[in-house]
Amino acid sequence: MDETSEQLELPPSLRWLKWLVTALTATLILGVITIVGLLVTRLPTSTAPEWPENLALPAGVTPEAITRGKDWIGVVGKDGQIYIFDTSGKLTRQIAIAP
């Protein structure tokens, strides 16, 4: 029985290496958990912006793209115009797009 216990015992350099690998694995696991936790708690939640109910384009205008700023809404029409609305839905500016 004494021979088997000697055969199973690792040399000191391998015991040190085994301890280092175990510590590195634990550090890696804790690091991944920390990074995932920070990403989940720190990334902003995306909420859909509220659009005014009475946003009406001029007659015959078909929208191509819509964007929203802090206090304005921009609509690009297929007629080559950009329509700028305020947050209440009132048309404030109309800008011609040069080809």
Per-residue pLDDT tens digits of the chain, which is 99 residues long? 555 555 678 888 888 999 999 999 999 999 999 999 999 988 877 776 677 777 888 889 888 999 988 889 999 999 999 999 998 888 999 999 987
Q: Are residues 33 and 70 in the same domain?
A: no
- Split into its structural domains, the chain has a count of 2
Q: Whole domain around residue 98: which residue ranges?
A: 50-99
Q: Which residues are 93's β-sheet partners? A: 84
Q: Which residues are 80's β-sheet partners? A: none
Q: Which three-class secondary structure state does DSSP give residue 69?
A: coil
Is position 2 within any domain? no
Which pLDDT score is estimated for 96? Answer: 92
Is position 40 within any domain? yes
Q: Are residues 67 and 93 in the same domain?
A: yes
Contact 16, 24 (CB under 8 A): no
Q: Describe the strand order of the beta sheet including 63-68 as a list of residue ranges.
A: 63-68, 72-77, 81-86, 91-96
Q: Are residues 40 and 68 in the same domain?
A: no
